[in-house]
Amino acid sequence: MDIMETIKKQIEENDIILYMKGSPNAPQCGFSMRTSQAIMACGQRFAYVDVLSNPDIRSNLPTYANWPTFPQLWVKGELIGGCDIVTEMHEKGELKTILDEAAADSAE
């Protein structure tokens, strides 16, 4: 399978997916740490891909997403954004609403 197809499949099959450096329990950069903590604080389960151990995804996702940096949070197939956007949405209470809705949709 082509790497772009792999990325597309990951995003389609996971209602909430975070592309990050490291893992939520062992992030490898401060931006990934802050983003994963904001998501975890919302209480919904989410998938993640460690771009450091997946160099093909790391080099191709910015092209696929038209977003140059990591982390990247995707919800219901839509790019939400990176660390600054996710952190700001969490502070405003918007992130929990989006994640709760995504989780509720997948439970139906």
CATH value at residue 17: 3.40.30.10
Encode pLDDT of 39-89 as tens digits: 999 999 999 999 999 999 999 999 999 999 999 999 999 999 999 999 999
- Look up the domain containing 59 and give its range: 3-107
Burial 16-30 (b: 16+ CB within 10 A, else e): bbbbbbbbbeebbee
Question: Which residue type does 19 have?
Answer: Y
Confidence of residue 105 (pLDDT cuts 50, 70, 90): confident
Q: pLDDT class for 6, splitting at 50, 70, 90?
A: very high
Counting the structural domains of the chain, the total is 1
State residue 93's pLDDT score.
Answer: 97
pLDDT at 9: 97
Look up the pTM and report it: 0.95
Please report the DSSP string for 37-99 in residue order: HHHHHTT---EEEETTS-HHHHHHHHHHHT--SS-EEEETTEEEESHHHHHHHHHHTHHHHHH
